[in-house]
Structure 1
Amino acid sequence: MAPVAPMDRQAVHDGYERARQEFHRLLDAASEQDLARPTCGTRWDNRELLWHMLFGYLVVRSLLGLVRVSGRLPRGVSRVFARLLEGVTVPFDLVNYAGPRGAVKVFSLHRMGVTFDRVTDSLHRRLAAEPESDLGRGMHFPVRWDPFFADFMTLADVYRYPTQHFEFHRRQLTLSGPRQ
């Protein structure tokens, strides 16, 4: 494990809170017409993209465990794993697209908001308890799966990931105003 500069934990916590507040603001202001409107640059509507933005935070909980385990193995193991995942990018893209389409059928806006609160609370607690020495552990990632995946990512990078993902997709929403 290579030494890394200390992580600005407060900046990550602040990013989670800004995203949480913005997510609730978006949910509270969106009309049904807004939610059904196509987004800019995706094949989802706004409701589906909002769920995908939430999913970016949900997936991090699993990624943290994966990085903790892989970070203790020789780097070649995660490099091979990442290349195997690159080989199934097409099926991944299909599941990644279809997931939000199905999820919004069972996740109400209220449930999405509650889930966002729970997952960000969980990430706050995990980050606060994370030993500084572990934040430099990392693994190789399938870079074709997400524009914010780097070839090698540390735990610190993974903690920063969901807010980067959120902010990127926030710009693709086409919501216009308060609920009617």
Structure 2
Amino acid sequence: MTAAPDWDAQAVHAELERVRRDFHQLLDAATGEDLARPTDGTRWTNEQLLFHMLFGYMLLWALLRLLRVFGRMPTGVSRTYGRLLSAATKPFDIVNYLGPCMAVHIYGHRRMGAKMDRVIASLHRRVEKETAAGLAQGMHYPARWDPFFTDYMTVADIYRYPARHYDFHRRQLTLGAGRN
């Protein structure tokens, strides 16, 4: 792998493992009562928010594919696409909320850990294949959709996105006797 100047593959690997271990610790310690409890600052339960946190990593593959396509096009194409998506923020917010509400009936907390393991393992393999040119590719994103999206993001930025998203939501969980 040819490294980009600000790219630290080992730091990305360490971050992926930190999140994977933490996610398992949260799932392993959570009781049924914990999972059903409302979170702090969201309309989700802890179980729904845990799925949303997992989904941030599942979404990474789609974001990378999207970036690979738009990163080869003129900048104006991705800028227009990003603006169109930003204009659709209200419908996105509804889908973003309802997705975890429904997904926990399919995944449940018991399957979430295994899914996180598979997603993280695939990301470890992908990180090893990145090149400086690939990491520098970028596109415009709907910055209004998530506080961790910026108007323009590179592949290297996208790899950093889900951990920031995870850590933000981790503070909203109300698991255990006290807050995490």
- The answer for the alignment partner of 2:6 in structure 1 is 6
User: Take 1:82 and 1:133, find their aligned partners in 2: how far apart are those partners?
Assistant: 22
> How many equivalent residue pairs?
174
Q: Matched residues in 2 for 1:163 and 1:35: separation? A: 21
CA–CA separation in structure 1 for the residues paired with 2:6 and 2:34: 42
1:108 positional shift:
2.2
Letter of the structure 2 residue corresponding to residue 117 of structure 1: D
Superposed, 1:44-83 pairs within 5 Å as 44-83=44-83
Once the two structures are superposed, the pairs formed by residues 132-171 of structure 1 within 5 Å of their partners are 132-171=132-171
Distance 1:35 1:6 in 2: 39
Structure 2 distance, partners of 1:60, 1:164, is: 13
Query: How far does residue 109 in structure 1 lie from its aligned partner after superposition?
Result: 1.7
How far residue 110 of structure 1 moved from its aligned partner, in angstroms, is 2.1
Give the structure-1-normalised TM-score.
Answer: 0.94
Q: Quote the offset at 1:6 in angstroms.
A: 3.3
For 1:142, the aligned partner's letter is P
Match of residue 126 from structure 1: 126
Inter-partner Cα distance in structure 1 for 2:108 and 2:93: 24
Contact 1:86-1:142 at 8 Å conserved across structures:
yes
CA RMSD across the alignment: 0.9
Which runs of 5 or more residues in structure 1 are unaligned?
none
What do the CA deviations read for 1:115-135 (whole angstroms, capped 9, x no partner)?
000001111111110112210
Please show how residues 101-112 of structure 1 align to structure 2 within 5 Å. Answer: 101-112=101-112
Contact kept, 8 Å, 1:6 with 1:132, in 2: the verdict is: no
Match for 2:57: what amino acid? Y
Task: Tell me the alpha carbon deviations over residues 44-84 of structure 1, each in whole angstroms, 9 at most, x when there is no partner.
Answer: 01000000000000000010011111111111110000000
Percent identity over the alignment? Answer: 58
Measured in 2, the distance between the counterparts of 1:158 and 1:98 equals: 24
> Once the two structures are superposed, what CA deviation does each residue of 1:145-169 show, in whole Å capped at 9, x if it has no partner?
0000000000000011111111111
Q: What TM-score, normalized by structure 2, do the two folds share?
A: 0.94
1:32 aligns with 2:32: yes
CA distance in 1, matches of 2:6, 2:71: 17
What code does the residue aligned with 1:59 have? L
1:142 is paired with a residue whose SS is coil
Deviant stretches of 4+, over 2 Å: none
Alpha-carbon distance between aligned partners in 2 of 1:51 and 1:115, rounded to the nearest angstrom? 10
